[in-house]
């Protein structure tokens, strides 16, 4: 139990015992055999629990051997394991089991191999020759105390070692409980199954505490595991499956039997295999696709742990919903890759609905192939859905259509005449769900109910659209639907005073510039601004918005929903409704709304970015880009719209998402070209910003040269139009880019750089001052002067800079601390910067490269001096960076390489070798941000040599010894400053080892081997530790030792470790008979 108190040790042992008991009971429930479970054995206290048949015969007896420290604590020795097994087999049983969370000692292997299920009595002869001398006597004593029958039963002992991430614990049992309940059609989710597991552990404790009758029958166990859903739900307070994540439509009250059966026929059972099932519901707008998906989701809630509803009307809306779902767990990872990873690795079952998808291609990157997942898409496109099972949604049948109408009118018992009126009306409306909703809303508002259906039919005939140019594509065969929309719009117009600050009609008109599901704030502000001065967005009073929404709901033209997250108040409309509203707008109104929409979205992006409310900006991006696209398509783009695209690009630059920033800058240029807008000053600014982005992305130098050339040309062309400060700022930014490119190994020609620099001189003799000292800090860091950089950074941080500057300064502080060898502080600084950036919505992309630079420095310190603090900091920092996600290929390759290097001396040789092969060497090329990649290739070579050395020693762990203290009286004194006392202690356990000396080009190796374990101690010839090279200083004492051993290889018989971290000295005797050494 290690150093834990008796109470802690007892608690840990009992917890593991009860979990092991639950695991065995669940195994028994998977069979058809009747059984009794005993929590304790009265026969022998070695039995922690047992399973018997109804006649009392033992089927299984178990001891659970636990420790507080688990796999990190003391190992189970062979004598201890045999003693437990011997006591178990004193009881006559079909099977025996020893369950432990401790590691089995190396000498247990031969014993476990004899637990083979045969009936032959076990003999001491089978073991003694395979065990260490110290264990053999104990084994013989134990076996002599057993009779032949007991020694035969020993063969039926099973040893279960619960080690690693899937070790026995509440999550493992909870997953088993959830699976068992689902297989019996009983609902339980991940959280509920965890609660139920804790309840079952408590029942085990209660059972064990009885003075008598400590047994449970199969039926009793089944009742516990299959606890009624209602009971479990009441314990949780709210059934965890009660509400899906996202903004789904209301649950439909009318069942479309045939269509729902078609869906369920494909999704017959809960997802039980890691093979994603895909189903798409297609049909025209207003046919009820979303309602059908919602009906399936609500009716089958018990099948899924996670139900997620995603607005799939555009790539941006999908990304926004996924970001909202993943939250802080996303970090700076690619949203699609992160989402797939979460779903693929999850043990939960998933239902994901992609509502309003444009096609299969739009969903390909979001839907993993191997997951416990059902994916349902709804789409108006019925042609591009290979690999998706199609269900075509068509008109309702007569009964469903009539039921929907009567449900909306709250009518049930009808006379024959009323029923005929209802049937006639729904047939005229084409049994189209949207048309019926609109018709029912009209009849309800009129106060006449079905008695008004005749008049409504007449109005429908009068409102048929004759002009085919006004009919939406694909809807020409549904005139009654369009007529119903027209009537509803007319009633909406009449329902509110046009002089009110805001009307429902105004909301719908503003909504034509946005997606079908959009933030109410953006729509309402656009509507209000279009009526005002068109300069400053007019934010309407919330009460006015509420009043305007009332008739929208009453006419069934739109609905409003709220959920958690940024911009959660949303307006949901319909494609057909928005199309007809757009067609009815006169040109002047349309133009005013287009201008208003651009003013509103530009103000939203800019103001929220300035206030560092980045989550709100992300949430609004889908709607913002739809508005800009629609204004551009109508040739109504104004400066504010163009600036919005640039502001979004700036937002992604600040967030460190340079690929997205580059895409939006390119989009801004393309928009200028498409709309034939010259704007020399704007083009110059965009091109300079693209230069900075490409520098971060590490693209080919040729591409960078082309973009810089274009930027220089654009600035030159706009020079007379740019204000002095603007020109100086562009000059400063270009100077940084040109300096970085010219220092790369594949830099442009001197003539090209000279031409660029001549332009910089023409524009401005000096650049704009760097108010936050970024350039000065960067210069100190590149020169390796951590102390000077740290002084400036801490001074700038005290001045409370903006958030995006502050996180950069904190990251620079981490690099400065790393240069000073303050590894833990350096790790905490960069991790703190990443956390701060993620929490503020900035994203961590711009900090990842800095983090990897710090990782490189720590890895270097580990490989050159074996510094334990550097290793610990590097390993934890690598995990943090991996959790955040890496966007750039070069950063990803360096992360894999450094993690591999950190494991090269102690990790499993096969895994290290495979990881080294996985390093993408093609990505390790110079860029503007990483100019020198020689260290990376040096590291690859070093890891390769280290793997070869360890492989020659059977994969032995390798320890770096930093110096030779001398040879005195057959004792070799060596220093172990870089190796912890615990590590040396493990090596010195090999007290009966034989040793061999190897003198090679890299230094002197001492190979220790006692037949079961090996260790490789290296005294490096070069001062750079594991690294070697012709230009590195030679460690003279190692060179002298190499010569000494070459001449007298058997002279040294004792190793003395001195100067350990704990100040201890360890002596280790070595056997004679060293192998001949090779000269250095």
DSSP three-state, residue 240: coil
**DSSP H or E run through 507:** helix 504-511
DSSP 996-1023: EEEEETTEEEEEEE-SS-EEEEEEESBT
Q: Are residues 331 and 344 located together in one domain of the fold?
A: yes
Residue 408 has pLDDT above 50, yes or no: yes
**Could you tell me the pLDDT band of residue 364, with boundaries at 50, 70 and 90?**
very high
- Of 951, 977, 993, the last residue of a domain is 951
Between CA 754 and CA 1077 the distance in angstroms is 58
Q: Residue 38 has which token pair?
A: 């005993």
Looking at residue 608, its pLDDT comes to 86
Tokens 């500057």, located at residue: 805
Q: How far is CA 1068 from CA 205, 1037, 1050, 1074, in A?
A: 49, 21, 15, 15
Looking at residue 745, its pLDDT comes to 53
pLDDT tens-digit profile of 576-613?
A: 898 889 988 999 999 999 999 999 999 999 888 888 77
Range of lowest pLDDT (16-30, 180-194, 203-217, 442-456): 180-194
Q: Residue 155 has which token pair?
A: 């063969």
Give the residue from 867, 869, 829, 825 showing the smallest Cα distance to 851: 829
**381's torsion region: left (phi>0), alpha (psi -120 to 50) or beta?**
beta
Tell whether 90 is covered by a domain: yes
Mean pLDDT of 257-261: 91
Between CA 716 and CA 719 the distance in angstroms is 5
CB 789 within 8 A of CB 780: yes
Q: Are residues 365 and 468 located together in one domain of the fold?
A: no
> In percent, how much of the chain has pLDDT > 90?
15
pLDDT tens-digit profile of 785-819?
A: 889 989 999 988 888 776 667 877 888 899 999 99
Q: Return the top range by mean pLDDT from 3-17, 396-410, 749-763, 880-894.
A: 396-410
Mean pLDDT of 622-637: 88
Q: What angle do CA 480, 483, 488 make, to 5 degrees?
A: 125
Looking at residue 724, its pLDDT comes to 74
Tell whether 536 is covered by a domain: no
pLDDT tens-digit profile of 957-970?
A: 888 776 677 776 67
Q: Are residues 387 and 403 located together in one domain of the fold?
A: no
Q: Residue 160 has which token pair?
A: 């279960």
Q: Residue 951 has which token pair?
A: 């492989």
- Of 762, 788, 816, the last residue of a domain is 762
Mean pLDDT of 365-394: 92
Q: Are residues 170 and 27 located together in one domain of the fold?
A: yes
Looking at residue 651, its pLDDT comes to 83
Tell whether 593 is covered by a domain: no
At residue 587, what are phi and psi to the nearest 5 degrees? -60, -40
**Could you tell me the pLDDT band of residue 329, with boundaries at 50, 70 and 90?**
confident
**Could you tell me the pLDDT band of residue 271, with boundaries at 50, 70 and 90?**
confident
CATH of the domain at 327: 3.40.50.300
Tell whether 562 is covered by a domain: no
Tell whether 645 is covered by a domain: no
Q: Are residues 908 and 990 located together in one domain of the fold?
A: no
Q: Residue 1008 has which token pair?
A: 């220790």
Q: Which residue has the higher pLDDT, 8 or 309?
A: 309
**Could you tell me the pLDDT band of residue 237, with boundaries at 50, 70 and 90?**
very low
CB 665 within 8 A of CB 689: yes
What is the three-state SS of 26-91? HHHHCCCCCCEEECCCCCCCCCCEEEECCCCCEEEEEEEECCCCHHHCCCECHHHHHHHHHHHCCC
Q: Are residues 56 and 194 located together in one domain of the fold?
A: yes
Mean pLDDT of 105-115: 83
Looking at residue 130, its pLDDT comes to 67
Q: Are residues 130 and 163 located together in one domain of the fold?
A: yes
- Of 211, 230, 249, the last residue of a domain is 230
Between CA 844 and CA 860 the distance in angstroms is 24
* Crossing angle (nearest 10°) for helices 803-819 and 774-782: 20
Q: Are residues 1055 and 943 located together in one domain of the fold?
A: no
User: What mean pLDDT is reported for the chain?
Assistant: 81
**Could you tell me the pLDDT band of residue 1080, with boundaries at 50, 70 and 90?**
low
DSSP 186-224: ----HHHHHHHHHHHHHHHHHHHT-SS--EEEHHHHHHH
**Could you tell me the pLDDT band of residue 2, with boundaries at 50, 70 and 90?**
very low
Mean pLDDT of 732-736: 73
Q: Are residues 187 and 311 located together in one domain of the fold?
A: no
Between CA 234 and CA 175 the distance in angstroms is 21
Tell whether 620 is covered by a domain: no
Residue 1071 has pLDDT above 70, yes or no: no
Q: Are residues 716 and 789 located together in one domain of the fold?
A: no
Q: Which residue has the higher pLDDT, 741 or 675?
A: 675
Looking at residue 523, its pLDDT comes to 92
Domain that holds residue 729: 682-762
Measured between alpha carbons, how far apart are the two ends of the chain, in Å? Answer: 48
Residue 291 has pLDDT above 90, yes or no: yes
What's the domain count of the chain?
A: 6
**Could you tell me the pLDDT band of residue 524, with boundaries at 50, 70 and 90?**
very high
Between CA 857 and CA 786 the distance in angstroms is 12
Q: Are residues 946 and 840 located together in one domain of the fold?
A: yes
Q: Residue 790 has which token pair?
A: 């740290």
**Could you tell me the pLDDT band of residue 1073, with boundaries at 50, 70 and 90?**
very low
Cβ-count burial of 610 within 10 angstroms (0-12 exposed, 13-18 middle, 19+ buried)?
Answer: exposed
Instruction: Count how many Cα atoms sit within 13 Å of the Cα of residue 629 in the half-sphere of its side chain.
Output: 13
**DSSP H or E run through 592:** helix 587-610
Q: Are residues 885 and 922 located together in one domain of the fold?
A: yes
Looking at residue 191, its pLDDT comes to 67
Give the residue from 608, 586, 588 showing the smallest Cα distance to 525: 608
Q: Residue 51 has which token pair?
A: 């399973």
Mean pLDDT of 1004-1024: 77
Range of lowest pLDDT (318-322, 400-404, 518-522, 804-808): 804-808
Q: Which residue has the higher pLDDT, 834 or 12?
A: 834
Q: What angle do CA 471, 476, 481 make, to 5 degrees?
A: 80
Between CA 414 and CA 406 the distance in angstroms is 9
Residue 180 has pLDDT above 80, yes or no: no
Give the residue from 875, 986, 891 showing the smallest Cα distance to 929: 891
Q: Which residue has the higher pLDDT, 292 or 740?
A: 292
Tell whether 157 is covered by a domain: yes
Mean pLDDT of 503-532: 90
Tell whether 980 is covered by a domain: yes
């Amino acid at each position: 139990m290690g150093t834990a108190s008796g109470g802690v040790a007892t608690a840990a042992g009992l917890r593991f015992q009860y979990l092991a008991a639950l695991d065995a009971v669940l195994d028994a429930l998977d069979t058809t055999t009747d059984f009794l479970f005993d929590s304790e054995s009265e026969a022998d206290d070695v039995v922690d629990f047992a399973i018997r048949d109804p006649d009392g015969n033992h089927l299984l007896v178990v001891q659970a051997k636990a420790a507080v420290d688990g796999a990190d604590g003391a190992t189970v020795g062979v004598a201890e394991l045999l003693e437990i097994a011997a006591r178990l087999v004193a009881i006559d049983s079909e099977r025996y089991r020893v369950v432990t969370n401790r590691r089995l000692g190396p000498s247990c292997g031969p014993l476990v191999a004899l637990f083979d299920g045969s009936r032959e009595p076990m003999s001491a002869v089978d073991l003694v020759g395979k065990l260490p001398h110290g264990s053999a006597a104990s084994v013989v004593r134990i076996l002599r105390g057993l009779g032949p029958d007991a020694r035969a039963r020993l063969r039926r002992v099973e040893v279960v070692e619960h080690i690693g991430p899937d070790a026995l614990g509440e999550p493992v049992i909870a997953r088993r409980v959830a699976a068992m309940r689902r297989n019996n059609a009983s609902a339980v989710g991940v959280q509920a199954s965890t609660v139920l597991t804790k309840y079952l552990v408590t029942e085990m404790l209660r059972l064990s505490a009885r003075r008598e009758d400590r047994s449970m029958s199969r039926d009793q166990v089944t009742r516990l595991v299959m606890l009624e859903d209602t009971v479990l739900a009441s314990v949780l307070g709210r059934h965890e499956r009660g509400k899906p994540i996202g903004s789904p439509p209301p649950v439909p009250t009318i069942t479309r039997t045939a269509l729902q059966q078609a869906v369920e026929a494909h999704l017959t059972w809960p997802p039980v295999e890691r093979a994603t099932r895909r189903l798409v519901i297609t049909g025209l707008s207003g046919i009820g696709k979303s309602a059908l998906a919602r009906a399936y989701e609500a009716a089958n809630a018990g099948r899924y742990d996670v139900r997620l509803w995603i607005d799939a009307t555009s790539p941006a809306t999908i990304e926004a919903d996924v970001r909202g779902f993943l939250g802080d767990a996303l970090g700076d990872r690619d949203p699609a890759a992160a989402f797939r990873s979460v779903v693929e690795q999850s043990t939960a079952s998933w239902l994901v609905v992609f509502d309003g998808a444009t096609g299969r291609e739009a969903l390909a990157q979001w839907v993993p192939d191997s997951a416990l997942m059902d994916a349902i898409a709804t789409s108006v496109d019925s042609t591009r859905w290979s690999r998706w099972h199609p269900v075509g949604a068509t008109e309702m049948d007569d009964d469903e259509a009539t039921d929907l109408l009567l449900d909306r009118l709250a009518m049930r018992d009808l006379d024959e005449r009323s029923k005929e009126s209802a049937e006639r009306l729904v047939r005229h409306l084409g049994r189209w769900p949207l048309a019926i909703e609109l018709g029912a809303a009209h009849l309800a508002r009129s106060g006449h109910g079905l008695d008004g259906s005749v008049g409504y039919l007449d109005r429908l005939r009068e409102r048929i659209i004759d002009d085919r140019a006004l009919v939406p594509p694909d809807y020409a065969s549904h005139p009654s639907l369009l007529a119903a929309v027209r009537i509803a719009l007319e009633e909406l117009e009449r329902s509110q005073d046009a002089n009110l600050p805001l009307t429902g009609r105004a909301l719908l008109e503003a909504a034509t510039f946005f997606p079908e599901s959009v933030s109410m704030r953006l729509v309402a502000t656009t509507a209000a601004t279009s009526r005002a001065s068109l300069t400053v967005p007019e934010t309407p009073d919330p009460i006015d918005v509420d009043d305007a929404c009332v008739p929208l709901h009453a006419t069934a033209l739109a609905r409003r929903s709220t959920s958690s997250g940024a911009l959660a108040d949303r307006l949901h409309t319909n494609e057909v409704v928005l199309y007809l509203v757009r067609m009815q707008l006169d040109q002047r109104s349309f133009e005013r709304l287009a201008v208003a929409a651009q003013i509103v979205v530009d103000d939203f992006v800019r103001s929220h970015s300035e206030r560092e409310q980045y989550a709100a900006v992300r949430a609004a991006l889908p709607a913002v880009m739809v508005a800009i696209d629609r204004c551009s398509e109508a040739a109504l783009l104004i400066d504010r719209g163009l600036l919005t695209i640039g502001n979004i690009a700036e937002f992604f630059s600040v967030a460190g998402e340079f690929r997205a920033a580059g895409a939006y800058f390119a989009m801004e240029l393309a928009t200028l070209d498409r709309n034939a807008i010259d704007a020399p000053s704007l083009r110059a600014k965009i091109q300079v910003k693209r230069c900075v982005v490409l520098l971060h992305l590490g693209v080919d130098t040729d591409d960078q040269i082309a973009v810089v050339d274009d930027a220089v040309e654009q600035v030159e062309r706009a020079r007379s139009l740019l204000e002095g400060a603007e020109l100086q700022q562009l000059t400063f930014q270009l100077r940084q880019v040109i300096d970085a490119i010219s220092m790369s190994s594949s830099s442009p020609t001197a003539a090209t750089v000279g031409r660029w620099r001549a332009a910089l001189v023409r524009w401005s003799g000096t650049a704009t001052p760097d108010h936050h000292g970024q350039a000065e800090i960067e210069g100190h860091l590149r020169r390796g002067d951590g102390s000077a950089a740290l002084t400036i950074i801490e001074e700038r941080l005290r001045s409370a800079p903006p958030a995006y500057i502050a996180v950069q300064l904190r990251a620079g502080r981490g690099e400065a601390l790393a240069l000073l060898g303050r590894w833990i502080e350096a790790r905490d600084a960069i991790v703190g910067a990443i956390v701060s950036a993620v929490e503020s919505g900035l994203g961590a992309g711009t900090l990842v490269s800095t983090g990897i630079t710090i990782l490189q420095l720590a890895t270097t310190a580990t490989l050159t001096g074996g510094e334990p603090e550097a290793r610990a900091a590097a390993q934890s920092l690598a995990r943090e960076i991996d959790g955040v996600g890496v966007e750039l290929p070069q950063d990803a390759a360096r992360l894999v390489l450094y993690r591999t290097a950190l494991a090269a001396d102690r990790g499993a040789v096969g895994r290290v070798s495979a990881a080294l092969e996985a390093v993408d060497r093609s990505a390790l090329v110079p860029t503007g941000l990483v100019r020198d990649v020689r260290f990376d290739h040096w590291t690859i070579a070093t890891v390769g040599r280290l793997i070869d050395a360890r492989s020659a020693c059977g994969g032995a762990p390798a320890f770096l010894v930093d110096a030779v203290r001398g040879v005195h009286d057959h004792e070799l004194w060596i220093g172990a400053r870089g190796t912890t006392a615990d590590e040396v202690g493990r090596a010195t356990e090999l007290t009966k080892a034989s040793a061999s000396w190897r003198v090679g080009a890299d230094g002197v190796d001492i190979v220790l081997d006692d037949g079961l374990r090996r260790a490789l101690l290296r005294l490096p010839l070069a001062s750079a530790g594991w690294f070697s090279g012709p230009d590195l200083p030679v460690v003279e004492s190692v060179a002298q030792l190499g010569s000494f051993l070459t001449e007298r290889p058997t002279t040294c018989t004792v190793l003395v470790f001195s100067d350990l971290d704990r100040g201890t000295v360890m002596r280790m005797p070595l056997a004679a008979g060293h192998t001949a050494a090779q000269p250095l």
